């Protein structure tokens, strides 16, 4: 099913905000300018901006147009940055332990929303700073997109870099959610915290493109972080 035009436009603007092409408080082109640039109606542009506004990424000011929202702690969690870079910037020494790396067939109701039996890769890693567990990550990746990934040094390489550079996967759309909650027993053991301790959970489903408009699920990512981490402002890769 083709992706709606408003969604394609919203995805493109969202990507420019999250990768830093557009900075906080930058003014966006007018609805008329975007309508001409994308070859769509102004109503389609308004729908795209409305979606971004609901996510807190864009705000509108009556009479003066639309702007990128000022950075907030929650929107920073959507930024695709490097855990290692973030920890080094905070004066800490990052490291990674690979807890699981294995082929796994998709089951019914899998978070990637692919057909049951589709070959996947399961990757679970523990991210540490100065030897202290900070976050536990879980991924499901469509194996056909990255044959040989399990042979890589997954403790010392960015998975995002491997997928987008070595395997040249174009990641074109992201669905993401951030919420605070309580640590489940398995995550608590891994993070060395008490079950039920406060944690921050980030979940992300990333799509690639098949042809010009069809989207295919590529990577499901879930990370559970110790909560109340002043130096951790972005999601890890």
Q: How far apart are CA 112 and CA 142, in angstroms?
A: 8
Question: Which are the contacts of 6, defined by CB distance < 8 A and separation ≥ 6?
Answer: 40, 44, 45, 47, 48, 51
Question: Which are the contacts of 153, defined by CB distance < 8 A and separation ≥ 6?
Answer: none
- The predicted structure's pLDDT at residue 82: 65
Q: Contact 67/61 with Cβ under 8 angstroms?
A: yes
- The predicted structure's pLDDT at residue 44: 92
- The predicted structure's pLDDT at residue 235: 41
- The predicted structure's pLDDT at residue 228: 46
Q: What is the mean pLDDT of the chain?
A: 84
Question: Which are the contacts of 53, defined by CB distance < 8 A and separation ≥ 6?
Answer: 59, 60
Q: Contact 160/223 with Cβ under 8 angstroms?
A: no
Q: Which structural domains are found in the chain, ordered by start?
A: 5-71 (1.10.10.10), 76-226 (3.40.1410.10)
Provide the pLDDT confidence category of residue 76 given band limits of 50, 70 and 90: very low
Q: How far apart are CA 35 and CA 232, in angstroms?
A: 38
**Burial category of 223 from C-beta neighbours within 10 Å (exposed 0-12, middle 13-18, buried 19 and up):** buried
- The predicted structure's pLDDT at residue 135: 92
Residue 79 has pLDDT above 80, yes or no: no
- The predicted structure's pLDDT at residue 19: 66
- The predicted structure's pLDDT at residue 123: 97
Q: Contact 137/151 with Cβ under 8 angstroms?
A: no
Q: How far apart are CA 120 and CA 116, in angstroms?
A: 10
For the chain, strand residue ranges (E) read 58-61, 65-68, 94-105, 119-129, 132-142, 171-182, 198-210, 214-226
Provide the pLDDT confidence category of residue 12 given band limits of 50, 70 and 90: confident
Q: What percent of the chain has pLDDT over 90?
A: 47
Quickly list DSSP for 100-146: EEEEEE--TT-TT-PPTT-EEEEEEEEEEETTEEEEEEEEEEEGGGS
Lowest mean pLDDT among 119-123, 170-174, 192-196, 198-202: 170-174
Lowest mean pLDDT among 1-5, 27-31, 109-113, 199-203: 1-5
For residue 161, the Cα-to-chain-centroid distance in whole angstroms is: 13
pTM of the model: 0.66
* CA distance readout (Å), 35 to 43, 118, 173, 212: 9, 40, 21, 20
Lowest mean pLDDT among 10-19, 156-165, 188-197: 10-19
């Amino acid at each position: 099913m083709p992706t709606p035009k408003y969604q394609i436009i919203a995805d493109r603007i969202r990507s420019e905000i999250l990768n830093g092409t557009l900075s906080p408080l930058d003014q966006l082109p007018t609805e008329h300018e975007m309508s001409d640039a994308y070859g769509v109606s102004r109503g389609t542009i308004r729908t795209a901006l409305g979606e971004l506004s609901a996510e807190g990424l864009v705000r509108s000011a009556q009479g003066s147009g639309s702007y990128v929202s000022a950075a907030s702690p929650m929107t920073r969690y959507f930024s695709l940055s490097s855990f290692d870079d973030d920890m080094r910037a905070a004066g800490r020494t990052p490291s990674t332990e690979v807890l699981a790396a294995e082929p796994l067939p998709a089951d019914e109701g899998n978070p990637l929303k692919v057909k049951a039996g589709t070959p996947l890769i399961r990757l679970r890693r523990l991210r540490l700073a100065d030897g202290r567990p900070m976050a536990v990550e879980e991924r499901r990746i469509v194996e056909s997109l990255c044959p040989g990934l399990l042979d890589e040094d997954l403790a010392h390489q960015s998975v995002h870099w491997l997928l987008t550079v070595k395997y040249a996967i174009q990641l074109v759309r992201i669905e993401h959610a951030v919420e605070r909650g309580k640590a489940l027993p398995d995550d608590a053991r891994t993070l060395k915290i008490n079950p039920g301790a406060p944690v921050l959970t980030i979940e992300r489903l990333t799509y690639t493109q098949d042809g010009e408009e069809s989207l295919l699920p590529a990577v499901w990512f879930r990370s559970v972080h110790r909560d109340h981490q002043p130096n951790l402002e972005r999601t890890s890769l």
